[in-house]
Structure 1
Amino acid sequence: MFKKHSDKVATISSMNLSHANAICYSGYREGQNPREGIYPTYDEVKEDLLILASNWNYLRIYDCGPHAEIVLDVIRIEALHFKVMLGVDMAAEMSNPHCPWGAEFSEETLSANRQNNCNEIHKMIELSLKYDDIVFSVSVGNEASVEWTDHMVPVDRLVNYVRQIKKEIKQPVTFCENYVPWTYKLEPLVAELDFISIHTYPAWEFRTMEDALEYTKQNYYSVANHYPDKPVIITEAGWTTASNGRGIEPWNANEDLQAHYYEQLLAWTTQEKILTFVFEAFDEPWKGSSDPLEPEKHWGLFYVDRTPKLVMKDIFPRKTTHADTIVNINTKDEVA
């Protein structure tokens, strides 16, 4: 068992941040897809954020594209209380033969990706300055260094991006990544960051609910104890509610398990004052394969139709939910 960090270990209070509920937000609904340039509207994002405003204070968004700008506009225009971690959608700057689903690219593609990444960094700087009252921190990328990624970026390039960003904006800079690379590969990057952001997913690593929270703690403290002078937060942790067996056994993905993990995770992180962005707000049908039970599509605390899952039953009344609708349809068919 990993020991919890001592009082000497840096926490978010060193960045003048208070502990509060935090969640990853991406608002893509049925028929919407960032890869196809089909984004949620202002009114759809407003509907989402009004739902989330009753329970969360921090939002994490993943890029600096049209969706991100709409989110920031809604927060400002509607005078919502959210503070936002802004990200960049890094494309591969090198091929990665270790990616299970393939990540071999031509030099022409990699060169174009490097230019696109530079453009994303410039857009991040622009939005961070424009919305400096809302954007509380920025991330230079998401899962761009872990062994299996399909968008690998060399560590020295990440270091250069961080230095570039810190010359232009005042907000703290981080990088969001699986817990594994932090204790060896990313040490040069850590020296440049204001805080570390880790991801932990027990279900993806074939853990059951019996040891899920303990495994999450091990993931966290393996990094926090390695860098006692650097604040460490969690920017992704959650449990999917459906699976077709790709990476997660179907029996290990359901609403009951999600609710149990969420309850345990929040109890621990609240007690220890570890800022934790739960993954994620709403189901996203555009993700992963075309299989409707693809686990990537089902991490939301709410269904794609914005009705709450079991995990939210004590906060949001479950009137007519996605699951109830399916039951009613099946019952009607049997009666007919």
Structure 2
Amino acid sequence: MGLTNAICYSGFRSGQHPDRGDGAINPSYEEILEDLKILSYNSNFKLIRVYDSGENSEMVLKVIKENNIDIKVMLGIWLSAELSNHKNCEWLDSIPDEVLRNNKALNLQEINNGIRLANEYPEIIVAVNVGNEALVDWTDHLVNVDTIISYVKLVKKSINQQVTVAENYKWWANHGSALAKELDFIAVHVYPIWENKDIDEGMSYTIENLLEVRNALPKSRIVISEAGWASLASEFGDRASEEKQLQYINEMASFTKEMNITTFIFEAFDEEWKGDPGNLMGAEKHWGLFTVDRKPKKVMGELYSHLNEKR
């Protein structure tokens, strides 16, 4: 995809959320436009990643096109569970076979939506990602790797854009060889803070992770599809802070620029809907470079001082 400033984007604000079984409350056209104007300001971010091919992602593409915003997109195709992974996830109940069969039908519908969008927006969508962390042993939306390979082949023959799958670095290093052969590049997630690393080890551990993948899959081109540092988290204690987020993002930017690796920072805006609704300090809610009310954190302070006046 080429070297560029890239970021993961999900625009759900306070009171909004994707479909969790009772329907979604999506951002409005105007809210998405505001977000994209923030991200594209002064060409700070020219490439975003969205995670599915549903109504909200289609609206993002529509806003970009109708407003001639200088942003390209890596489109997601979200895969729901086709296997019940309750034995590996203590918090997950066994998923009934009927639900799994229905999920497979939904996945095929999602794939068709992704193919349609890729063909409708060829000037905006530069790559399509089939499945996000659907292969790791701790996922609640497990899909068999051979099934994902078949989905990748279907998508590749139906569109002109590059096709990938996004997974944790350890899965790629240990299990990724067959899938990697089918892809234009591999999309890798690295999160040192989740592996009990503090900021003094954050970047060195990230490099170790990437080298592990490179050594296992030397012929595959690597794109970092998620990397970030939480600014607040009850799970991480003082390892999470805006100062440490600033340091990690800056170190990551320097390294990936030197190594010419396209990197999607996770993520643009904090998302209150994620994680435990009873824990406002939960890590899942605080990865954004901007707060949920669209104010820049320290990592973005200099670039967006005009947004910080009322903070």
Q: Alpha carbons of 1:265 and 1:116: their partners in 2 closer, same or farther (altered >3 Å)?
A: same
Aligned-partner residue type, residue 63 of structure 1: D
Q: TM-score, normalised by structure 2?
A: 0.95
Q: TM-score, normalised by structure 1?
A: 0.88
Q: 1:90 aligned to 2:79? A: yes
1:289, 1:152 → 2: CA distance? 21
Q: 1:197 aligns with which of 181, 187, 206?
A: 187
Q: 1:303 aligns with which of 276, 291, 300?
A: 291
Percent of aligned positions with the same letter in both sequences? 43
1:155, 1:104 → 2: CA distance? 20
Aligned residue number for residue 120 of structure 1 = 110
1:267, 1:99 → 2: CA distance? 36
* Residue 225 of structure 1, CA deviation: 2.7
Task: Answer yes or no: is the 8 Å Cα contact 1:91–1:114 preserved in 2.
Answer: yes
Aligned-partner residue type, residue 139 of structure 2: T
Q: For structure 1, which runs of at least 5 residues remain unmatched after alignment?
A: 1-16, 322-336
Q: 1:152 aligns with which of 122, 128, 142?
A: 142
Q: 1:99 aligns with which of 89, 93, 113?
A: 89
* Residue 228 of structure 1, CA deviation: 2.2
Q: What secondary structure, in the 3-state scheme, does the structure 1 residue paired with 2:101 have?
A: helix
In the TM superposition, what whole-angstrom CA distance separates every residue of 1:256-280 from its partner, at most 9, and x where no partner exists? 1111111111011111111000000
Aligned residue number for residue 250 of structure 1 = 237
Q: For structure 2, which runs of at least 5 residues remain unmatched after alignment?
A: none
Aligned residue number for residue 49 of structure 1 = 36
> Which aligned pairs between 1:253-272 and structure 2 lie closer than 5 A?
253-272=240-259
Task: Answer yes or no: is the 8 Å Cα contact 1:155–1:186 preserved in 2.
Answer: no
Task: Answer yes or no: is the 8 Å Cα contact 1:103–1:151 preserved in 2.
Answer: no
Aligned residue number for residue 286 of structure 1 = 273
Aligned residue number for residue 222 of structure 2 = 232
Q: 2:166 aligns with which of 169, 176, 179?
A: 176
Task: Answer yes or no: is the 8 Å Cα contact 1:195–1:232 preserved in 2.
Answer: yes
Consecutive aligned runs of 4 or more in structure 1 exceeding 4 Å deviation: none
Aligned-partner residue type, residue 14 of structure 2: E
Q: 1:39 aligns with which of 26, 33, 54?
A: 26
1:140, 1:100 → 2: CA distance? 26
1:190, 1:89 → 2: CA distance? 19
* Residue 70 of structure 1, CA deviation: 0.8
Give me the CA root mean square deviation.
Answer: 1.0
1:276, 1:103 → 2: CA distance? 35
Q: How many residues align?
A: 302
* Residue 242 of structure 1, CA deviation: 1.2
1:99, 1:223 → 2: CA distance? 25
* Residue 66 of structure 1, CA deviation: 1.0
